[in-house]
Each structure stands twice: as structure tokens, then as C-alpha cells.
Amino acid sequence: MQIIEKISNMQSYVKKNRLDDKSIGFVPTMGYFHEGHLSLMRIARQKCDILIVSIFVNPTQFGPNDDFDKYPRDFDRDKKLCERENVDAIFIPSAEEMYPKGFIAYVDMDGDMTEVLCGKYRSRHFRGVMTVVSKLFNIVQPDIAVFGRKDGQQLALIRRMVADLNFPIEIIGGRTIRENDGLAMSSRNKYLNSEQRKSASALYKSLLLAKTMIENGETDSFEIIAKMKDFISNSGDFEIQYIDIVDADTLKPVNTVQNKVMIALAVFLGETRLIDNIIV
């Protein structure tokens, strides 16, 4: 397995494998791997000749009050896990390598898809995400790229960007991997103390509550959301940022559930922000 830090070296590595007619799979990450990350690597591994994983905690997607400085990092551990998953190369550039002095080009996405859910509360977050993903796509030039469905809005936006900007890349969504009690695996779960960790399972339970209501014939989004808020509020010391029901493809809010929807939420548990969603 190769460890590559420079963009030029990554491009040379890709070019060599392209000349050998090798297909390339790509899993972009911010590191500190858990089973969710590894599941994405396994999906890509089955579909390509060369598997590249990037590790880059992207500063442009963090706001001034976000956790960039304390975001968990453990490259030695991540390296061992990548070796176990038969990764061919890790791309681990520095911030200076990705955003050299004088950098001014960013990818902005206009329209409703960036103004709902997390985009409503995290100013310029998706500008940073789309910019770094575009840069990584141009550097790695993969045939396929795999992203987790836990970040549902991010996945939808990346798919739209790939379509709009004509990236010749197949985007694959990997299912959300959960702990035994249903909590979606996340690098940020390590911030939770033991009491918070126990109550955090209420998030997935609230999503299952909404799913059951819909399956039993409830179509009023406001009624479903109200029940979810009551359930979460009575399950721990949560600060609910949002609970929304949106069209699964366009992310437009829906008042009446008729077709495929994404039920998505973001909450604070102490200082830790947690997100989750399901498709119904």
C-alpha cells in the first residue's frame, strides 16, 4: 500500500494505472475510521482494480464555531485498517497542498438543495464540501466513488454536482452502519460521555417511529415531526436543530408524504452535533 502526500505524485500514480487499463475506485474520508468507513471501502474494493482512499480533514467545510481543531485524527490506526481492507493507496495531502496561497476557486451550488437541512444552519459548509470533492475527483479521476448515506444531503448534492458538471464518475451510496442500539456510526460519537451515549439511541428510534407512522397511513409531515420531537425531547438532554421531511431526490420539503421521502434530523447532545436520516 502506498502513502501519497503530494498532488503531483497522486496524479502520476493514477496515470500509471490508467495506462495499465486499471479501473479506479475512490473513498474520500476525513479519517478516524469506523466500521462505516470500512464498509464503503469494501463496496469499492469489489468494483475496481485499484482502490484509493483519501484522508483529509477539510478546513473549508468547517464554520468558525465547528470542531476542526479537535476533530479526531489517528493516521497510524487508519493506515492499519486500510491495509486490512486491501487499499492500494492512501492520499493524505496537507491543507497547504490542497489550498495553496492565493487559492480563490470554489464550487458553489445555488438553489433549494443547499438551503434546507444542514445547509440552513451551516453557512458555506457545502461550498467547502463540493470544492474539496471536486478537487479530489480531478486529482484521483476515479471510475467510481463511494459515499455514506448517513450524510444524506451531502450524497444528494454530490450526485447533482457530478451530473451538472459532467464528471465521468459513478457515485455509489453505502448504507448507514449502526451500533447495536441503532446509533449511526460517526467519528464524532467519541465526544459523547456514557450518559449521552445511552440517550443517543433515541435518534434512530425516532426515525423508526416516523417510519411506522407512515406505514400505518399517516401522511401529515407536521404531525410526524411533532411526534418525533416529543419522543426525542423526552429521551435525554437534546437540543433539536431540525427535523425535516423532504423529497428523497430533490430535497424539497414535503407537507404531505406521498412518494419516497428522506426523514432527516440534526441534534446537539451537549456540544456534539449528531445527524441521521432514513428513506421511506
Cell of 246: 423532504
Q: Which residues are catalytic?
A: 37
Pairing state between β 50-55 and 238-247: unpaired
pLDDT at 162: 98
Give the separation between CA 221 and CA 211, rounded to whole angstroms. 11
Percent of the chain past pLDDT 70, that is, above it, reads 100
Q: What are the beta bridge partners of residue 279?
A: 262
**CATH 3.30.1300.10 in the chain, residues?**
187-273
Average pLDDT for 37-43 = 98
pLDDT tens, position by position, 7-30: 999 999 999 999 999 999 999 999
Scanning 63-124, the segments in alpha helix (DSSP H) are 75-84, 95-98, 118-121
Query: Taking the model in full, what pTM does it have?
Result: 0.95
- The number of residues in the chain equals 280
Question: Selecting from 3.40.50.2300, 3.30.1300.10, 3.40.50.1000, 3.40.50.720, what CATH number does the domain 187-273 have?
Answer: 3.30.1300.10
Give the separation between CA 121 and CA 172, rounded to whole angstroms. 26
CB 59 within 8 A of CB 99: yes
pLDDT band at 64 (very low <50, low <70, confident <90, very high): confident
To the nearest 10°, report the CA torsion of 241, 201, 183, 248. Answer: -50
Model confidence at 80: pLDDT above 90: yes
CATH superfamily, with its number, for domain 2-174 = HUPs (3.40.50.620)
Model confidence at 110: pLDDT above 90: no
Contacts of 21 (CB under 8 A, 6+ apart): none
3-class secondary structure, 116: coil
Interior angle at CA 23, CA 11 and CA 173, nearest 5: 100
Scanning the chain, the segments in alpha helix (DSSP H) are 7-19, 35-45, 75-84, 95-98, 118-121, 125-140, 152-164, 194-199, 202-215, 221-233
CB crowding 162-182: b at 16 or more within 10 Å, else e = beeeebebebbbbebbbbeeb
Model confidence at 65: pLDDT above 90: no
**CATH 3.40.50.620 in the chain, residues?**
2-174
Average pLDDT for 66-81 = 95
Give the separation between CA 39 and CA 280, rounded to whole angstroms. 22
Give the separation between CA 208 and CA 24, rounded to whole angstroms. 37
Within 13 Å and on the Cβ side, how many CA atoms surround 45?
Answer: 15
pLDDT at 92: 98
pLDDT at 37: 98
User: How far is CA 236 from its chain centroid?
Assistant: 25
Give the separation between CA 137 and CA 159, rounded to whole angstroms. 13
